[in-house]
Structure 1
């Protein structure tokens, strides 16, 4: 496996109807979060501790909530809120 990000439950449910410029900002920040998680959890598939839980990120045009799951080597975008 290798680190990546994805929308959970689905892209349509998480970002459907959001302004395209906002979605681009979310995707850019998600990529940054993936790189940070990859550096912090060097071998995520063998991670034995509790996952760090959900956090919020503010980007131009809104915010989003994400969850880092080291054993899956994933950053899950679970909610977006454009404004």
Structure 2
């Protein structure tokens, strides 16, 4: 398995209607979160602790809420807010 990120529940639900430039900014930040999670949880599928809590990533034009799920080796983007 390899680390990735996804919109949850769907791209249309999470970023539908957001300006394309902001969506690109969110996706670049999501890529960075994936790299960080991959380094922190070397074998996410073997992770047996309580999972990390959701968090907020601040961006220049807004923010987004995400959740890291080590056992799924996935960062879920749950909500975006564009200012």
TM > 0.5: yes
Q: State the match for 1:28 in structure 2.
A: 28
Look up the match of 2:4: 4
Classify the secondary structure of the residue corresponding to 1:78: strand
Instruction: State the superposition RMSD in angstroms.
Output: 0.5
Q: Give, in whole Å, the separation in 1 of the partners of 2:18 and 2:65.
A: 15
Listed as ranges, the gaps of 5+ residues in structure 1 are none
TM normalised by structure 2 equals 0.98
* Deviation (angstroms), 1:60: 1.9
TM-score (norm 1): 0.98
The aligned counterpart of 1:57 is: 57
Query: Separation in 1 of the partners of 2:51 and 2:20?
Result: 31
**What's the counterpart of residue 45 of structure 1?**
45
Structure 1: which 4+ aligned runs deviate by more than 2 Å? Answer: none
In 1, the alpha carbon distance for the partners of 2:12 and 2:60 equals 20
Distance in 2 between residues matched to 1:41 and 1:6, nearest whole Å? 18
Distance 2:23 2:59 in 1: 10
